[in-house]
Amino acid sequence: MSFGGQPPAYQPPPPSGQPVPEGQQPAYGQPPTPVYGQPPAPVYGQGQPPYGQPPAQPYPSAPAYGQPPAPSYGQQARQLAPQAPVSDAYAATASAAPAIGYGQPQQLAPQPSAAAAYAPPAPLSPAPVAGVPALPMPVRKGRSVSVWVFGVLGFVMLALIAYFAMFLGTGASVVGLILAFVPLGIVLFGVHLIDRWEPEPKSLVIFALAWGAIAAIGIALLFDLLLTLAAGRPDDFFSAVIQAPLIEEIGKGLGVFLIYVIGRRAFDGPVDGVVYGALVGAGFAFTENIQYFGVSLVNGGAGELTITFILRGLLSPFAHAMFTALTGFAIGLAARRGATVAGALGAGALGLLGAMALHAFWNGSSMLGDFFTLYLTAQIPLFLGFIFAIVALRRAEARLTQRRLEDYAAAGWFTKEEVVMLATPAGRKAGMQWARGLRGDRRKLMRSFIKDATELAAVRQRAINGHDAYAAADEQSLLARTRATRAHLLAY
């Protein structure tokens, strides 16, 4: 399958430092001239210059912008030797000659002591600042959730709390709540590994979890109540193999589609779809586990609770995340191809059918025959296939990121070596090791460099697809951030 299209042919000019006239946005396809001036070369011995102002006395070996040197990974930055040795005579007596700093004569104190006769000189190589200076951030519109949406979910959550307190009791509900955090933490750690270099906006992550844990559960409970009132309580097989896959996956899939509608500019492709689907599924499993653990404690005591916790919390924590990830994958694939909302809805419906089928098979296999035999022969292979699919998607995403960053390398924003470092797993690992050896352990700066560059590649892909009106503004902000972060990484 093809991830993304080819960028339009263009010959963007190298970064020149000419500001863009206020009120004008550059046409996409021509990487904009940076607003923030020439890349700031650190002025050694005089601190950092104001951002956007060229330094008065650039260091002779400061790299020319557009051709930043590729960092020598694994090599620690060398400390500059002092210009002249310091004499040991400064500690002798108070009557000694005034101590001389590195080129800075000191005034003789009226009554100096041995300790006060020497004032330490200013460092030749000032330590870099703690982080990147405040810079413009990408536009938030289309990447966040309104607080009013969380307010509505909050009212539904109060109703769920009342439900659990009424039917399970406070004690069983609290025990179930505590135990449910274990499988939730396992799933969240897995999602972090998938999405650590291009993390989704926090409000969308929280919304995905909240939708699964509150709204999707509410939809399932409401339908179960209506069905029971209309036709009586169904048998276990119908409930597990037919009702649960249909209703639960519809409720969860609706949440993934809403994320696409609300946060379209943060829904870039299949990997994002898998992440959002897994988060919605993790939230749903969290609340469902509270109920299962509480019922087990009430009906069978600690023994039955232990068995339920092992089966649901340890042996199959990714089940719901895996089901809903299929729906997210389909919507993400449509998003990568620049589909409309209607097109994403149709693709999501196809993914939803796959999620329902997988959910029904998983539940049915746990009810037919010996559970552990079917778990080893059916459920574990499915889970391993899911992991291999995630690895393949991430590699495809890395190739696309590398192609988009190569567009900026051709314009002079990155070197070819930097593109490899920013886009490939091996390059990112080498870059983090190199940053760790720099003074002050600059891995935090390197993470910011990689994340901003990865987001920059996604912005360019959205602009190529033609469905991001804020691509030019985001591009300028991210180019400024990557440039400033590089300057701090290379500062001695």
- Which residue has tokens 């030749």? 124
Tokens of 78: 């060398």
* 420: pLDDT strictly greater than 60: yes
Digit-coded pLDDT (tens) for 136-172: 666 677 677 888 889 999 999 999 999 998 888 899 9
Indicate left, alpha or beta for 43 from its phi (over 0: left) and psi (-120 to 50: alpha).
beta
B/e letters for 54-89, b = 16+ CB within 10 Å, e = fewer, are ebeeebeebbebeebeebebeeebeeeeeeeeeeee
Q: How far apart are CA 240 and CA 371, in angstroms?
A: 15
As a 3-state breakdown, the chain gives helix, strand, coil percent values, each rounded to 5, of 60, 0, 40
Give the DSSP letter string of 3-29. -S-PPPP--PPPP--PPPPTT--PPTT
Please state, for a pLDDT cut of 90, what percent of the chain lies above it. Answer: 45
pLDDT at 49 over 60: no
Cα–Cα distance list, 33 to 17, 64, 172, 227, 477 (Å): 7, 16, 61, 62, 12
> For 298-346, how does the pLDDT look when each residue is reduced to its tens digit (9 = 90+)?
998 999 999 999 989 998 899 999 999 999 999 999 988 888 899 999 9
Question: At how many degrees (to 10) do helices 202-210 and 244-262 cross?
Answer: 160
Half-sphere exposure of 183 (CA within 13 A, CB side): 31
pLDDT of residue 185: 95
